Structure 1
Amino acid sequence: MARPQTPLWLTAPSRFAALKRPTAQIMLALLAILLVASMAALVSPGPPPVSHDPAQRADDEADVILYETIVAGVRGGGDYYAVTAQALRTGNYPLRPFVTFRLPTLATLQAAMPPIGTVILLYVLAAAVMLAWFIRLRPAFARAPPLAIAMVLLGGGMMAFVQPELASFHEIWAGLLIALSLALRRSDRWVEAVAFGLIAMLIRETAALYVGIMLVLAFAEGRRREAIGWGIALLALAVVVGVHAHAVSLVVRPIDPASPGWAGMLGFGFFVKTMSLSTALNLAPTWLAALLVALTLFGWAGWNDELALRAVAVFAAYAVLLSLFGRTDTFYWGLMIAPTILVGLAFVPDALRDLIAAARDKRRIIVTRMVR
């Protein structure tokens, strides 16, 4: 077994520091496979390019305009479900099944506030995420420069989340709430994490995947009270979704169009491309962005902390969701995990150095028998 070396950036050796040589070599091979697999993003389909022409906003931001229209209708005194049904019909969107209707939480909240209030609330939430992750990451890094790099990477994952024109987009809020919940969760303090996870689900029900992962891990670690907390949150969502489904059934007509389904089966490359488009990696060439997405997953896997285990599990779950069920027009599902994913690059130097050292370790224990 390799002897852990002095960490480069971290305060403690990475998860790979004490691996046995055969295991480390297997991990290196898996890393190589992950890097090669990420290149599938080069041939994966993506959303239509954005023209950036203000005259083409109706085409470039059709979903955003839809949600803005719904908020305006509710603010004007309309019933949420009637307003949403009309907006979906006008935009030629499907109205069946009921999940094509977003939960009314965000639209109702925004309709009760002036537009500037929504933007301020969004900025406050983004600032809270930055502060929570700064507090959570500070003990992990030995010096200020690596911590600063980690925070810059966090900001790179949040570029889309501080754009006022996207304030009516449900994934923007849910993604920030998931990031805040992850940062706040500790083994001895999890109530706040459950609360923010529940709010995320009430805004975008696909956040239930995150809450489900947290429940499973809490149960696997023998944390029964925490597992019950996550379970109660999921139960609350189930009740809300049941009421929501009934309300939708009252405004949908038999002739309304149905969704084509979500079995996109676009593969891992689509997940990689989605994460590139959802973060600052959108500014890099596709091949470089794809490799960095793979490395950030590797970096998270290398950080020897229970938060990293939860982050990797959540990223993997949404990777499967996007790979199997995502469509080119639902690439924004990646926003659910975008805020924090790039932070993993800050763990790569220690993780890669430790893994290579463990794979190359050739020391052997020689037992000498002395006869007197």
Structure 2
Amino acid sequence: MIRAAKPWWTAQPTRFAGLSRGRARAALGLLLLLLAACLLALRAPSPPPASGEPANRAEDQADVVLYQTIVEQVRHGGDYYAITAAALRSGNYPLRPFVTFRLPTLAAIQSRLPDRGSEALLYALAAAVALAWWARFVPAFGRGPPRMVALLLLGAGMLVFVQRELIWFHEIWAGLLIALSLALRRPGRWVEAAAFGLAAMLVRETAALYVGVMAAAAWIEGERREALGWAFALAVFAIVVAAHAHAVAQVVRPLDPGSPGWAGMLGFGFFVRTMTITTALSLPPLWLAAPLVGMALFGWAAWAEPLAGRALATFAAYAILLGVAGRVDTFYWGLLVAGPLLAGLAFAPDGLRDLLRTAAGERRRRITITRVVR
């Protein structure tokens, strides 16, 4: 029998502790390929940096100003779809297809609240995300310091989400709702997670990819009832989107411009670049930040917990979305999954240690003594 080495940080051995030597070496090779692929971010395009000058806010944060303007006009009694169409035209935005119009959910809520109320709601949601993930970190780590490190890494991934000037940005809210949904999902307890997943979709349509991943994961794991619950959330979302498309069709004119399309084909490096832009990894140089994204993904793969597998599948799904369909000006799609990403770094030390020991064949043998009574 083989005994795994005592973990450094985690309460239990990582997923790589039980691998055979051959599989461990294959996994180590894949890790090196992942880190090399992350360096493609050095050649990936990036949106132009904001000037940071208050006088240039309309240019630096054009989308934020657009959504803020829509909320303020809806607050004064205007029709959401007519207001949004006029705002898109005045800002030279495309009006076709209908997905260029955001769902009215966030605007309807914020128009009924003062700006301070929206800020308070955002901070409360961020606090709920932190508490939910703390509840998952407590059993995952045996001691207080590793738990605090994991929580700090979670905060590093959520820095953008608590910026006051971004409260009108849909991806901020949808990203927090996805992070909360993922943290709340437990075996046999999925209703709350599906409800917050539905809320995320009603704020930003691209959150449907996360819900689809969760439905597929539940089906693969044999959780048929849960899979049907996620599918029901998708069905409700589909009905809402159909009504939304009909409402958009009433205000769009034949000569309104269309979208240039979503086939950027910018590759995996662009996903890595977006993760560095939308988290605290924007602070170090890119040559250092990009491999840290890879190590964070590795850490999620190392955590021997079904939740980690679902998180990793979600990151992979959005990596494909950004790499295939993303454009330079849609880098903010990464906000949908950026929040919990860096927390994976907390699992990376034990995962790397277990992988290296297993690949080198340095696991200790356990001697089993059997007493035979005659």
Task: State the TM bucket, normalised to the shorter chain.
Answer: over 0.9
Task: Quote how far apart the aligned CAs of 1:128 are.
Answer: 0.4
Change (3 A) 1:28 1:67: same
Instruction: Give the structure 2 partner of residue 73 of structure 1.
Output: 73
* 2:17 partner SS: coil
Task: Quote how far apart the aligned CAs of 1:224 are.
Answer: 1.1
Deviations 1:129-172 (A, max 9, x none): 00010011110001111110000000001101111110000000
CA contact (8 A) 1:172 1:336 kept: yes
Instruction: Give the structure 1 partner of residue 222 of structure 2.
Output: 222
In structure 1, what is the Cα distance between the partners aligned to 2:222 and 2:40? Answer: 38
In structure 2, what is the Cα distance between the partners aligned to 1:40 and 1:56? Answer: 31
* 1:16 partner SS: helix
In structure 1, what is the Cα distance between the partners aligned to 2:269 and 2:362? Answer: 37
Instruction: Give the structure 2 partner of residue 120 of structure 1.
Output: 120
Deviations 1:240-294 (A, max 9, x none): 0000000000000010000000100000110000000000000010011101000
Matched letter for residue 313 of structure 1 = A
In structure 1, what is the Cα distance between the partners aligned to 2:2 and 2:216? Answer: 32
Instruction: Give the structure 2 partner of residue 331 of structure 1.
Output: 331
Alignment pair present for 1:59 and 2:59: yes
CA contact (8 A) 1:38 1:291 kept: yes
CA contact (8 A) 1:322 1:333 kept: yes
In structure 2, what is the Cα distance between the partners aligned to 1:289 and 1:277? Answer: 10
Deviations 1:109-142 (A, max 9, x none): 1001111110000000000000010011110001
In structure 1, what is the Cα distance between the partners aligned to 2:362 and 2:47? Answer: 49
Would you say how many aligned residue pairs link Structure 1 and Structure 2? 365
* 1:17 partner SS: helix
CA contact (8 A) 2:264 2:326 kept: yes
Instruction: Give the structure 2 partner of residue 368 of structure 1.
Output: none
Task: Quote how far apart the aligned CAs of 1:3 are.
Answer: 3.3
Task: Quote how far apart the aligned CAs of 1:55 are.
Answer: 1.1
Instruction: Give the structure 2 partner of residue 347 of structure 1.
Output: 347
Matched letter for residue 335 of structure 2 = L
In structure 1, what is the Cα distance between the partners aligned to 2:348 and 2:136? Answer: 18
Task: Quote how far apart the aligned CAs of 1:310 are.
Answer: 0.4
Identity among equivalent pairs (%): 64
Instruction: Give the structure 2 partner of residue 193 of structure 1.
Output: 193
Deviations 1:36-95 (A, max 9, x none): 111111111011111101111111100000000110110011100000000000000000
Matched letter for residue 67 of structure 1 = Y
Change (3 A) 1:68 1:363: closer
Change (3 A) 1:362 1:163: closer
Matched letter for residue 331 of structure 1 = F
Is there any run of 5+ residues in structure 2 with no aligned partner, and where? 366-374
TM-score, normalisation: structure 2:
0.96
Task: Quote how far apart the aligned CAs of 1:363 are.
Answer: 7.7
Alignment pair present for 1:270 and 2:265: no
Deviations 1:197-227 (A, max 9, x none): 0000000011000000000011111111111
Alignment pair present for 1:235 and 2:235: yes
Task: Quote how far apart the aligned CAs of 1:364 are.
Answer: 11
Instruction: Give the structure 1 partner of residue 244 of structure 2.
Output: 244
CA contact (8 A) 2:4 2:364 kept: no
Matched letter for residue 46 of structure 1 = S
Change (3 A) 1:357 1:249: same
Instruction: Give the structure 1 partner of residue 280 of structure 2.
Output: 280
Is there any run of 5+ residues in structure 1 with no aligned partner, and where? 366-372
In structure 2, what is the Cα distance between the partners aligned to 1:2 and 1:264? Answer: 48
* 1:332 partner SS: helix
CA contact (8 A) 2:38 2:268 kept: yes
CA contact (8 A) 1:2 1:361 kept: no
Instruction: Give the structure 1 partner of residue 372 of structure 2.
Output: none
Matched letter for residue 16 of structure 2 = F
In structure 2, what is the Cα distance between the partners aligned to 1:137 and 1:146? Answer: 9
CA contact (8 A) 1:166 1:172 kept: yes
CA contact (8 A) 1:296 1:341 kept: yes
Matched letter for residue 138 of structure 1 = V
Structure 1 outlier segments of 4+, above 2 Å: 362-365
